A and B are shown apart, each in its own frame.
Chain A
């Protein structure tokens, strides 16, 4: 069985320590920032800027793990470690897969935020 989009234990622990309202605001910030990071990944790939690529992947990894988005976090980690070349070799497919997973994470977080 595939792991859940959002690990409930991690998300509940976050709500408990930071407060439910604050966690809601934090989710909003992530939903604003994450698309920027995804765009950065694509731009950096096009421009061949390895540092920016690694940094954007690193940030996305770090934020994903904060909310318990473990699959998205693992994908971002692969991008951070693999770097530009591995993505280019795979014809940018990892970025498409990342975008798909992010869409699910965003939907799940929005639901958790309102629920």
Chain B
């Protein structure tokens, strides 16, 4: 994307009128962009399916397929709805302009188009697209394809919202002595295998890993995508994680390497979810008491000598299939009252 960093972009000009097409193309080429043209909406959509464009300038009044129909099609196409569209038209009436914006047009320029305004609007739309692409890339890396798609459809927003979800924290017990006893290459190799297994277990139960720190990770169930039974899904993911670590340990034993053990803390409740960070680096995360509690429960697995600890809100949603032992009320740092803690029995 070196081109777009210089301000140059791939643009598609859609207009049935030849004079308009020539003039717009000329103005845009003088601004350093690469321009293709289409003479109606149908041709434009064909080109959009074949080639990647950074932005489209769209006329409204056209034969075969008009601009409104093009906007509608783009709006309903998850692959293309992020393409910024600037409507260039001389439509009569505010209603038509409102309809364009409601259908997702980024901006509206009336014809004849003023070249200075054109330049400013294109610059603003391309900048917005760049930011959105960065967010998309971030989500692609940290979320399952379903979640990434959902976020794309619902639109990216840096603002937060309140959700009811389940949070999981997990890490490797006594990892520091282990690191000191082996080569750096062995440590990275171990972490890569470990993360692959944990991601697999979490994603297959509908969770999203949103943070990795050293040997620890944080995962969310029930946000940003709603998930039925997010409490049970998180617990089942934890059980599968323990099982996968056991299998991994058998391999390690055969290679004469030390065993690893993990601890998992899970809590459910209301939390604030959203993108946090700066425009350059943002991550989807959850914040609140529930999140803190899950982190404390994970730490407490060491004291309680249990693999999986959950809070009451999670425990109450579990079916009889899952064996639970009540450990009673436990003082948790940061909580005024003692919290009921439950251990999930690992077969």
* Residue ranges of A at the interface with B (Cβ–Cβ < 8 Å): 10, 17-19, 22, 25-26, 29-30, 33, 52, 54-55, 58-59, 61-63, 65-66, 77, 80-81
Q: Please give me the residue from chain A that is nearest to B66 by CB atom.
A: A55
Q: Please give me the residue from chain B that is nearest to A65 by CB atom.
A: B112
Asked whether, in the complex, the Cβ of B23 is within 8 Å of the Cβ of A66, the reply is yes
Of the 9-residue stretches B14-22, B230-238, B252-260, B319-327, which lies at the interface with chain A? Answer: B14-22
Asked whether, in the complex, the Cβ of B92 is within 8 Å of the Cβ of A63, the reply is no
Q: Quick one: which of B18, B27, B63 contacts A55, CB cutoff 8 A? A: B63
Q: What 4 pairs across the A-B complex have the smallest Cβ distances? A: A66-B112, A17-B115, A59-B17, A63-B19
Q: Quick one: which of B23, B62, B92, B115 contacts A26, CB cutoff 8 A? A: B23
CA distance A77 to B110 in the complex (A): 14
Asked whether, in the complex, the Cβ of A62 is within 8 Å of the Cβ of B115, the reply is no
Given contacts A29-B18, A55-B61, contact A62 B90 (CB under 8 A): yes
Asked whether, in the complex, the Cβ of B27 is within 8 Å of the Cβ of A65, the reply is no
A-B CB contact pairs (8 Å), 24 listed: A10-B112, A17-B115, A18-B26, A18-B27, A18-B30, A26-B19, A29-B18, A29-B22, A52-B63, A54-B61, A55-B61, A55-B62, A59-B61, A61-B90, A62-B20, A62-B90, A63-B19, A63-B20, A65-B112, A66-B19, A66-B20, A66-B23, A77-B92, A81-B92
Asked whether, in the complex, the Cβ of B18 is within 8 Å of the Cβ of A33, the reply is yes
Q: Please give me the residue from chain A that is nearest to B112 by CB atom.
A: A66
Q: Quick one: which of A17, A54, A66 contacts B111, CB cutoff 8 A? A: A66
Asked whether, in the complex, the Cβ of B19 is within 8 Å of the Cβ of A30, the reply is yes
* Residue ranges of B at the interface with A (Cβ–Cβ < 8 Å): 16-20, 22-23, 26-27, 30, 61-63, 90, 92, 111-112, 115
Q: Quick one: which of A22, A52, A62 contacts B17, CB cutoff 8 A? A: A62
Interface of A is mostly: helix
Q: Please give me the residue from chain A that is nearest to B61 by CB atom.
A: A58
Given contacts A55-B63, A81-B92, contact A22 B19 (CB under 8 A): no
Q: Which residues of B contact A61 (CB under 8 A)?
A: 90
Q: Please give me the residue from chain A that is nearest to B111 by CB atom.
A: A62
Closest approach, in angstroms, between the C-beta of A63 and any C-beta of chain B? 5
Q: Quick one: which of B26, B63, B111 contacts A65, CB cutoff 8 A? A: B111
Closest approach, in angstroms, between the C-beta of A115 and any C-beta of chain B? 20
Q: Quick one: which of B17, B23, B27, B92 contacts A33, CB cutoff 8 A? A: B17
Asked whether, in the complex, the Cβ of A22 is within 8 Å of the Cβ of B112, the reply is no
Q: Which residues of A contact B17 (CB under 8 A)?
A: 33, 59, 62-63
Q: Which residues of B contact A25 (CB under 8 A)?
A: 22
Asked whether, in the complex, the Cβ of B92 is within 8 Å of the Cβ of A17, the reply is no
Q: Quick one: which of B26, B90, B92 contacts A22, CB cutoff 8 A? A: B26
Q: Which residues of A contact B115 (CB under 8 A)?
A: 17
| Inter-chain pairs besides A10-B112, A29-B19, 16 sampled, C-beta below 8 Å | A17-B27, A22-B26, A26-B22, A26-B23, A30-B19, A33-B17, A33-B18, A33-B19, A52-B63, A54-B61, A58-B61, A58-B90, A59-B20, A62-B90, A66-B20, A77-B92
Q: Which residues of B contact A33 (CB under 8 A)?
A: 17-19
Asked whether, in the complex, the Cβ of A62 is within 8 Å of the Cβ of B112, the reply is yes
Closest approach, in angstroms, between the C-beta of B27 and any C-beta of chain A? 7
Q: Please give me the residue from chain B that is nearest to A16 by CB atom.
A: B115
CA distance A59 to B23 in the complex (A): 14
Q: Please give me the residue from chain B that is nearest to A32 by CB atom.
A: B18
Q: Which residues of B contact A58 (CB under 8 A)?
A: 61, 90
